[in-house]
Each structure stands twice: as structure tokens, then as C-alpha cells.
Chain A
């Protein structure tokens, strides 16, 4: 099974750093460990979601601004 990136925090998932910016990453992008792929809003602050996976993004498993729980799959990867 191809790997999935899990949310490290419970909160609201955002795909861009602010409403006027481009998304951190999109489908088809190749991501390496350490790359920021989104942010989660929790406790009135924003925390970067950093990939621990190397791969190509197959699809997002949650929408922008969805409420996510810790450990929830948020991005599905495929081999590069």
C-alpha cells in the first residue's frame, strides 16, 4: 500500500499559508522529508505539517479547512 501522511495535530487543516498565497503543494508534486505540506490551526495558533515521506502526491484525503484529528490520513502518496 502506498504511504499516507497523517496529521500530527488535531485542528483545522489549511493548504496555504494565508488566503492570498498559493497552496504549499498540489497533486503531482514530489515531496521530500522536511517539506511543509500544510498548516493546522489549533489553540489559536498555526503549526506547520511537515512531510516525513518521500513521494509524489496522488491526492489529498481532506479538503482545505476540514477539521482533522491527530493521526488522520491527509495526503496519499505514490512512488516517484
Chain B
């Protein structure tokens, strides 16, 4: 069996696949999967993998792994120094590496926070409920339900033996920033029923600093005292952010008291706080690239038609025809 062995696991590295563990919301599972689905999908495309293949989501960097079999590899996402046996190689490109090679990813200086390592054949951990994604809150899926540790031996799938080296051209890579703009749709709990129009203008009008305790569960933003349209949550609770428990969408901008939180791929499926707006899928990848110190996000309101068009445009970029052969 082909394998790769972790030498340094870095801050948090998990096995992820896309679109993760779907159709399980009613059983209490958010989908997990990559926080940045664009970089994950790009890395898979570059090494010739099926869209369902698992990659490693590497947070910040400081990651080293030994490929114990010949492999084609690609790293996409936040820029960090990438080396194979000490030789610098480019990110957003595929590379052929012989068995025994050590691949090392240094620290991402920013902008950007996460990088994705794809190996041809994918990381072939056992699927759980139809996905190899690691669900950190549930401690299941991925490799033993946890972030990787030094010494872990990861099984790799069948080699794709993809001859050509390829690159995603710079013009096709999305722009990274320390001041993010993320498109979102209003609701399901917006003005005038739950928040005031002025609250919605604030939500969409100001930059929101990202909190250090953001993770795969959610991106915490800065606390803010909203005006609210109601004086209390009635039977659901004293604070006007309270509602009777209901299901949450992935990418919810959930307001818990004074604290807005964007729900990430490992977030809760349900709860009793309003969701003032929801991040569109085409921009959801950006939350995986927010740095936990110093980044800000502004939300821009769009319609469902805008959201669908943006998703088509993003997915169209992730096609064989976009890649350059090196």
C-alpha cells in the first residue's frame, strides 16, 4: 500500500474531502470538509484526482511529511515556503516526487491561513457516512477522528500516474487579503422581524475584526450591541437574539447575544439564535483563509441570483481547461 508519514503536524492538519458529509444535518452533523473548498479542489485538479479525493488541510504551516511512495503532489492556498527535500518548489503547481521525499511547508506569513496538500490517489482513510472529512467537533471521520500527529502513517489511494506537470495560472487564483469582502444573503432572520434596518446597515456596512478563537466550528467576529427589532426573545429567551431552536445553514452569520459568528464546516446544525445573513457558497472558501489576528471582513449583500452566478463562475475556473501544462 502507498503511504505518507507525518513528521511535523503543525498547528492543526486534518484530512478533508469535498463536499464533506452531506445529507446528515438531521442527525446532527454539519458537513465538515475543507474550510477553503476552492484551494482544496484546485489541488485535487492539479494532481489528476477525482473531485471526491481527500486532501490535507494545513493550518498556518510548519508541516512536514515523507512520501513513502512515488507521488504527484500539489499544494494550493495560503502562500508559504514549500520545499521537496530542501529544494524550493512552487505552490499552485503539481510536482512529481520520488519515494522517500520529504515535503515541507513553512509558515504562511499572510495573507491567507490554510493550505491544502493533494497527493495523486488521495488520502485514502476509511470513509465514514460517505465522507473522509474530519469533523473536529464530533471527533470523527478523517484519520482517527482527530488532527494529525507526528508519526501518523496515512494510506494513499491508487496512483493516477498523471504524466504532465500542471499549474493553475496566477490569473485564475482568487485574490487573498487581510481585509476580506464576503458576499452574503440577508436572512433567514433579518429586518424587520428580528433586527432593525439600521442593524442590517451596520452588519453590511462596517469591517468586522476576526477573533483569535475562530476555528473550523466558527469565525468569531467583534462583539457589537445591535438595536434589535424586539425587546426580548419572548418564550425563546430574554435576549432579542434568542429564537426557538431551528436549523442553521452552513455559512450562517449567527448572532449570539452581541457576538456575530460565521458558522464554519464543523459548526452546530441547530440552535436558538438568529441568523441575520448567510455567506454565499462561492465566497465561503474565504473564511478558511481568515487569519486569527489582524484580519477584518466586510459583508456585501447580494441576491440569490448573484449567488448562483458567482458559484457558476468560481466552479468554471476549476476545470482542466484552466490549467497550464508546465
Contacts and interface: CB of A to CB of B under 8 A. Distances in A.
A67 interface: yes
Category for how many chain A residues contact B: 10 to 19
Interface in A1-58: 8-12, 41-44, 47
A47 B215 CA distance: 14
A69 B294 contact: yes
Contact of B12 (A10, A43, A67): A43
A9 B60 contact: yes
B268 to A, nearest CB: 14
Interface of A: 8-12, 41-44, 47, 67-71
A11 B210 CA distance: 11
A45 to B, nearest CB: 8
A74 B140 CA distance: 36
Contact of B60 (A12, A41, A67, A70): A70
Nearest to A44: B213
Interface in B90-134: 107, 109-110
B293 A11 contact: yes
The 3 residue pairs across chains A and B that have the minimum distance between CB atoms: A10-B293, A43-B215, A11-B212
Contacts of A47: 11
A69 B213 CA distance: 14
B292 A43 contact: yes
Interface in B42-98: 59-60, 62
A67 B109 CA distance: 16
B77 to A, nearest CB: 16
Contacts of B12: 43
Contacts of B214: 43
Nearest to B213: A44
Contact of B109 (A12, A43, A44, A71): A71
A10 B62 contact: no
A11 B292 CA distance: 7
Contacts of B217: 44
A65 to B, nearest CB: 11
Contact of B11 (A41, A42, A67): A42
B291 interface: yes
A57 to B, nearest CB: 23
A42 B107 contact: no
Contacts of A70: 60, 107, 109-110, 293
